Amino acid sequence: MPTVFSHSLVGVVFGKYFAKRTGLKFWTLTILCAIFPDFDVITRFFGIPLWHMLGHRGVFHSVLFVTLVAFVLVTAGYREIKRFSKEWWSFFVYFLLIGMSHIILDTLTSGGMGVGLLMPFDSTRYLSPYRPIRISPSRLVNFFESTGARIVVSELIWVWIPSVTALIILWFIRRRKRKRVAIISKQ
């Protein structure tokens, strides 16, 4: 799995791109949604094996689960918005995309048993045929071993640099658009 930092960064990039209305609640829910599937690591402490449906990258990494998380986040987090209105649906799709980004990033990692995309309906675990991101250890102490630096470099190359590049491009596009609007409004 990519680190929670990389998952969070991708969520922030989505937020910068799509959001018109932000604030502390928005960014908190964005980051929570981006990392939420990885809360399944606690199942290990209850003796649930990794290969089990409730194990890491099982049902908590499924399309069904991230859909439910998106629904709960919008319903509970934005009570002031009329349920199933256009604005409600835009937040729902936004959080769904962030949850899906978590799943997609995890399928791009170099190890593990795969991701239970279709659980609980299908127990197959899926990995992308192209897996450039080095798998991150689930224990923090393992980061300080020799593989830790390789994991950081891998995430820099495959997640951070593309994400920051996307933010820079977005900034230039918005800046250019603001300048164009300012020129038109002066005329």
pLDDT tens sequence for the chain (187 residues): 578 889 999 999 989 888 776 789 999 999 999 999 999 989 989 999 888 999 999 999 999 999 999 999 999 999 999 999 999 999 999 999 999 999 999 999 988 889 999 999 999 999 999 999 988 776 666 666 667 778 888 999 999 999 999 999 988 998 888 877 777 777 6
Other CB atoms within a 10 A radius of the CB of residue 6 amount to 25
Torsion angle of C-alpha atoms 5, 72, 59, 116, degrees rounded to 10? -60
pLDDT reported for residue 142: 61
DSSP 81: S
Sequence-distant (6+) residues with CB within 8 A of 104 are: 128
Nearest by Cα to 1 from 98, 102, 128: 102
Distance CA 141, CA 162 (A): 27
pLDDT reported for residue 92: 97
Task: State the Rg of the chain over Cα.
Answer: 19
pLDDT reported for residue 150: 82
Q: Considering its fold, how many domains does the chain have in total?
A: 1
Domain range for 178 is 4-186
pLDDT reported for residue 123: 94
User: What distance, in Å, lies between the first and last C-alpha atoms of the chain?
Assistant: 53
Distance CA 29, CA 42 (A): 20
